[in-house]
Chain A
Amino acid sequence: AQSVTQLDSHVSVSEGTPVLLRCNYSSSYSPSLFWYVQHPNKGLQLLLKYTSAATLVKGINGFEAEFKKSETSFHLTKPSAHMSDAAEYFCVVSDSQGWGKLIFGQGTELSVKP
């Protein structure tokens, strides 16, 4: 069975400092991995996805993630946080052997202090 574990339920950073949101995955085969962001009272927006091409994936708004098979990790980073980055972030694995059911982590709430 596939699963993802987000290691922090809440992360707080100061504006202009780096962001690191941690995610570990479990999968019996090569996974498709995604990061989605959810702003308050909004739907989910795709930040980036990994589908077995380059291990360093660049997304929107300056975010990127690195797929590390040896560590079964897919951590999300951004060099410099902006106030508008405050939101809930979800690490997601896709049931790529089936029909693409998405399996979500519990989410990490990112707070950005001025």
Chain B
Amino acid sequence: DAGVTQSPTHLIKTRGQQVTLRCSPKSGHDTVSWYQQALGQGPQFIFQYYEEEERQRGNFPDRFSGHQFPNYSSELNVNALLLGDSALYLCASSSKGAGGTETQYFGPGTRLLVL
């Protein structure tokens, strides 16, 4: 049973560019959440997708957007990249669209470097 997968593993972009990160959830999961982890920090919640809709959003600007596909996979898009967007981006999946008691399983992350 494959766990949560993310692609690419590493990415280098320049300021002002746009980037798309991808996530496939664990088999049987229908909810995908995205987190940003800056160096030396704990992950910060970006947003969560369920039934192809953004259900909850953290304190991130509109430059961060996402999408969920009918097969539950998800994309995170970041426009107009800033140096401060350099971070590890983590995807987590959970099941049943439930709330806070469901365990979220994390992928290995995509490390983004903005130059």
Is B105 a contact partner of A102 (Cβ separation < 8 A)? no
9-residue interface stretch from B14-22, B48-56, B62-70, B73-81: B48-56
Q: Is A46 an interface residue (CB 8 A)?
A: yes
Report Cα–Cα, A36/B35, bound state, in Å. 14
B interface, CB within 8 angstroms of A: 4, 31, 33, 35, 41-45, 48, 50, 55-56, 58, 90, 92, 94, 98-109
A interface, CB within 8 angstroms of B: 32, 34, 36, 42-46, 49, 51, 90, 94-107
23 of the cross-chain contacts (CB-CB < 8 Å) are A32-B100, A34-B103, A43-B107, A43-B108, A45-B106, A46-B103, A46-B105, A49-B103, A51-B101, A94-B99, A94-B100, A97-B100, A99-B56, A99-B100, A100-B31, A100-B98, A100-B102, A100-B104, A101-B45, A101-B58, A102-B33, A102-B35, A104-B44
